[in-house]
Structure 1
Amino acid sequence: MRDGNVRPARATTTTGGEAMRKYLAEAIGTFVLVLGGVGTAVLAGERVGFLGVAFAFGLSLLAMVYTVGPISGCHVNPAVTVGLLMAGKFDKRHVAGYVVAQCVGAIVAAGVVLLIARGAPGGYSAGAEGLGSNGYGASSPEGYGGGAAFLTEVALSFLLVLTVLGATDARAPVGFAGVAIGLVLTLIHLVGIPITNTSVNPARSLGPALFAGGDALRQLWMFIIAPLLGAAFASAVYRLVNRPAVQISATRAEQATDEERRERVMGRRDAEHPV
């Protein structure tokens, strides 16, 4: 028997399944970002230097924008999620799920990096060597103090989130958001690595800090507050200077155009069912 009570249940199930796919995509995307970036810093940092680590983070994000972006928008960063929310480009119902997924992905990735690092001759101590964690003062790569570190993280987070907002604007070139976002993250790391090891991402900071403990965990507050503050500033500036006639989500902006996707689907169908 079909009545009005059945259809909403199906809709709820479908919506719940779609939400879980988004959360899983965010966890995977953040896992890859931390594995690629922090993994390079810990396992190959002495060989590739700051430049190599910066590109590792940027290329990891670039790849994930095109891999999980069409599913979740590829925030892979609580600061980006908050910035998109404040700019009216993200549904507040999914904020908690995204942030939890991002943190889980980062923690698992940091754990994997640690397990690999321990396989080196002589082993590896996360507490002693840091596991690529963020810090200031004695924990800064070049000894920068807390004030400089906080300002750096706010400013660089502002730059990242503003780029995400602009690159996913309705009037931005279709299909190029990932290039802009990946390159700006590379630039951000070139500036920030000597100062704080570059966070601009609370989840990225949380993962290594949980394993490193000590100062990394005590100083974690800065790498949560500063990126969120930078995201708030970016959202305010975006709303002030950019008023598009049509507002679209980041997920939608990172997808191909409808025509491009239809062509791909029709081409696949033709290949599967030749005349």
Structure 2
Amino acid sequence: MRTDRYVAEFLGTALLVFIAVGSAVLGLPEIGAVGVALAFGLVLLGLVYAIGPISGCHVNPAVTAGAWIMRQISGTDAVCYIVAQVLGGIAGAALIKLVSSVGGVETAVDGANAYGPDEGINAAGTFVLEVVLTFVFVFVVLLVVRRKAAATAAGVAIGFTLAVVHLVGVPLHGTSVNPARSIGPALFAGGEAIGQLWLFILAPLVGGVLAALAARALRDAPEDTEVEMRRIGAPHADGEIKVKPR
């Protein structure tokens, strides 16, 4: 058992929550929604290159669930990853709380996701939006990481996709697309945040599973095309394509 992968997932998720959620807790209203979205995207971009070679840099139970469905990770590893990610999310939120308390920082928000009249979106709308945004993010992650030719650019694609989905969701409910990101801040916020937490756990997992199913369906497309190309004609050693008569 390679525990270094689990440690990497713990530290990666803790840093994601501390930097990205911390940008909202400690930085609003100065940096605004765009600044928060960029914080999420840029910190993940860095983490992909830092811990990607160790654990794959899931730092998100929805990504891990998708990777398990894609058979990129074993069931045992998936469970250990998710436990590490949730603990990391709690640790990151605890560090935000420590900085704000010790530093005497007056915070405008607590970093927890929320829906309702004050946020301008209800539970149904939040659920649908979270499923769609998570689908987009996990779909990109699963397809990018399996393309060896795009390995060096994976961090850029993944980081900017996370930033883009946050641009959509931050003004409404803070954007989750990551149960581990939501659990930590909710535990420290308490009250209504705990009561609404189920949605920010379930909806991203649903989106992650749907993204994996879609990615699996597309995974065989190049192979089907290749078979068809071989049936019609294939390049010979001299580079000339010989077309077989029908």
Instruction: Show the counterpart of 1:255.
Output: none
Task: Confirm or deny that 1:136 pairs with 2:119.
Answer: no
Q: Compared with structure 1, are the counterparts of its residues 30 and 122 closer, same or farther at alpha carbon in structure 2 (3 Å cutoff)?
A: closer
Aligned residues: percent identity? Answer: 45
SS of corresponding position for 1:209: helix
Structure 2 counterpart of 1:114, one-letter code: K
SS in 2 for 1:23: helix
Kindly report which structure 2 residues correspond to 1:124-203, keeping only aligned pairs within 5 A, or say none: 130-138=109-117, 140=119, 143-203=120-180
C-alpha displacement of 1:174: 2.6
What residue is the counterpart of 1:65 in the other structure? 48
Instruction: Using the TM superposition, give the Cα deviation of residue 120 of structure 1 relative to its aligned residue in structure 2, in angstroms.
Output: 4.6
Structure-2 residue corresponding to 1:220: 197
- Return 5+ residue gaps in structure 2 as ranges: 224-246
Residues paired across the two proteins, number: 222
The answer to whether the 8 Å contact 2:14/2:89 transfers is yes
Moved over 4 A (4+): 120-124
Q: Is the 8 A contact 1:139 1:215 kept in 2?
A: no
Aligned ranges for residues 21-170 of structure 1 at < 5 Å? 21-121=4-104, 130-138=109-117, 140=119, 143-170=120-147
Which residues of structure 1 form unaligned runs of 5+?
Answer: 1-15, 246-275
CA 1:165–1:114: 2 relative to 1, 3 Å: same
Deviation at 1:170, TM superposition (A): 3.2
Letter of the structure 2 residue corresponding to residue 215 of structure 1 = E
CA distance in 2, matches of 1:48, 1:130: 13
1:90 CA displacement: 1.4
Residue identity matched to 1:67: A
* 1:46, distance to aligned residue in structure 2 (A): 1.0
CA distance in 2 between counterparts of 1:28 and 1:212 reads 22
1:36/1:56 contact within 8 Å kept: yes
CA distance in 2, matches of 1:189, 1:56: 10
AA paired with 2:111?
G
